[in-house]
Amino acid sequence: MDVATARFWLDTIAAILAVLWFAGAWFVMQTGNRLAEPLTGTADVAQDPANVMQRFARLLVGNRPGSPLQRATIESANDREVRWSTLGAFAHHGTARASGSRDRARVEWEIVANRPALLWTARVLVAAGAVVTVGLWYALHEFFVPNADEGVRAQVVQMVQAIHVLWPPFLLAGLARRFRREPAEEVRRAVQNAPFG
């Protein structure tokens, strides 16, 4: 591999990796913004609001293993409102409020996710990805491209190794998004099932 070809492949691979890094940084930033916004929802239930709230609170306390609400701690509960919080991967604070008549309740809930360690780790890896990508490009550009040995110049393809620090932010931010969604889906299920609990 001649010097011009080695430089071309090094720069091409580095450009592709830079696009991937920017995509990962954007995805992690958007995930952080999304986690800062509360998730809200509503459900209409054919039952007295007080009964719905009592049964919803019981469902929170006795939630099944593996549920995002499994470790819920009820902070306050009355006939119209239940407040809870959870720890672990699905850590969040939630509030459910019921309004309506004796035979029809409208339940509105709001869930605010805690900033998970996954998101912090994803941000650290985004920073590490920038350092590794630039550092690897510099080392290959300065020490491998100008080398007199063609075999050494061919090692510029090792630039692809930077991918190992560029894909984890996508995984971690994706998991953080999933851990944000699942409690809301579980609350909706619990509210809908409250009349039958």
With residue 35 as reference, give the H or E element that holds it: helix 3-36
- Find the mean pLDDT for residues 145-154: 89
C-alpha to C-alpha distance for 176 and 116, rounded to whole angstroms:
7
Question: What is the Cα–Cα distance from 5 to 3, expressed in whole angstroms?
Answer: 6
The yes-or-no verdict on residue 166 having pLDDT over 70 is yes
Q: In this predicted structure, what is the pLDDT of residue 113?
A: 85
Length of the chain, in residues:
197
Residue 81 reports pLDDT greater than 70: yes
62 vs 156: which has the higher pLDDT: 156
Place of tokens 């306050």: 76
Q: What is the pLDDT of residue 18?
A: 97
CA dihedral of 118, 124, 128, 130, whole degrees rounded to 10? 100
How does residue 63 score in pLDDT terms, banded at 50, 70 and 90? low
Is the pLDDT confidence value at 160 over 90?
Answer: yes
Is the predicted pLDDT of residue 64 greater than 80, yes or no?
Answer: no
